[in-house]
Each structure stands twice: as structure tokens, then as C-alpha cells.
Amino acid sequence: MRLLLVVACALIDADGRVLIAQRPEGKELAGLWEFPGGKLDANERPEQALIRELFEELGITVKEPCLAPLTFASHAYEAFHLLMPLFVCRRWEGFVAAQEGQALKWVFPKTLRDYPMPPADAPLIPALIDLLG
Ligand code: 9L3
Ligand code: MG
């Protein structure tokens, strides 16, 4: 099965809430809430891809040392096996603002279960609860 590498980020604010974004209509998994991120372009390292995606999707600038790896998601869909490192980030420049019309929410990790997530993202919740309470 084809392996698809995607990177995602839990942005963490000063109160210990994390950012989730709703996948827009017309995209696969539309309506589900995910940790922002996306696919690696050719020749990108995961951190570079994530810095690019966070700028494209949220308009923020992240410096590479501010990205810390937390865990991996792994989920086999029909068409591909998705492997997705999750980074956490507490420092960035600029203001988080949806650049692609997507809804955004800051939520405490314990309430993440109230938001329907893609099958790759939901298993990441316990690691965030362990980290942030
Ligand atoms: N995906 C799942 N959870 C996430 C992200 C960022 C992406 N947190 C899945 C959805 C798609 C694939 O990865 O099946 C590629 O994502 P995109 O490029 O459509 O955002
Ligand atoms: Mg994306």
C-alpha cells in the first residue's frame, strides 16, 4: 500500500489550549476537525513542510526550533497508509487567522473528543492530554 507522509501541528496557546481547524467543504473528510498541516512537497523535511503549511493555512511564521515532535499518527485508509508526525508549537510570529476560509477553534485537550476528527487525528488526543492536562 502507498505510504503518504503528512505533517501536523498542535499549536498551544498561553492557557494550554490547542488549535483545531475544520476541513472545508469539497475536500476529503470535509467537516471534520484536524490539527493543521498537510503533505510534504518533494525534497522537504517534515519541519520545513509544516512551517510552509502553517504559513499557508494560518498566516503565522514559525521558526524551526519552536517545533517539537510529540508522537506519530498512523492510519490505513483504503487507498493509502497515512503516517503523520505530530509536532507541538508554543511560539510563533503573527496572528492566527484562517487563510483558506476554514473554521478554527482553540480547545482544551480534554474537550477534543467533542469534535469529530479524521481517524488519523483522534488517536493523538491522549498524548496531548498527557502533555497539557
Ligand atoms: N490529514 C489528516 N489529518 C490531518 C491532516 C493535516 C491531514 N491533521 C489527511 C487528510 C488527507 C491527507 O491527510 O487524507 C492529506 O491532507 P490534505 O493535504 O488534504 O490537508
Ligand atoms: Mg492541510
pLDDT tens across the length of the chain (133 residues): 899 999 999 999 999 999 999 999 998 999 999 999 999 999 999 999 999 999 999 999 999 999 999 999 999 999 999 999 999 999 999 999 999 999 999 999 999 999 999 999 999 999 999 999 9
**68: number of Cβ within 10 Å:** 11
Residues that place a CB less than 5 A from ion ligand 2? 38
* pTM of the predicted protein model: 0.96
The three three-digit cell numbers of residue 43, written as one number: 525534497
- Among protein residues, the one with the nearest Cα to ligand 1's atom 14 is 28
Pocket test for ligand 1, best of 9, 25, 34 (most atoms within 8 A of CB): 34
Model ipTM value: 0.95
3-state SS assignment for residue 117: coil
What span, in angstroms and rounded, lies between the C-alpha atoms of 116 and 58? Answer: 21
What span, in angstroms and rounded, lies between the C-alpha atoms of 93 and 121? Answer: 25
Q: Domains in the chain, start-ordered, CATH in brackets?
A: 2-132 (3.90.79.10)
pLDDT at position 1: 86
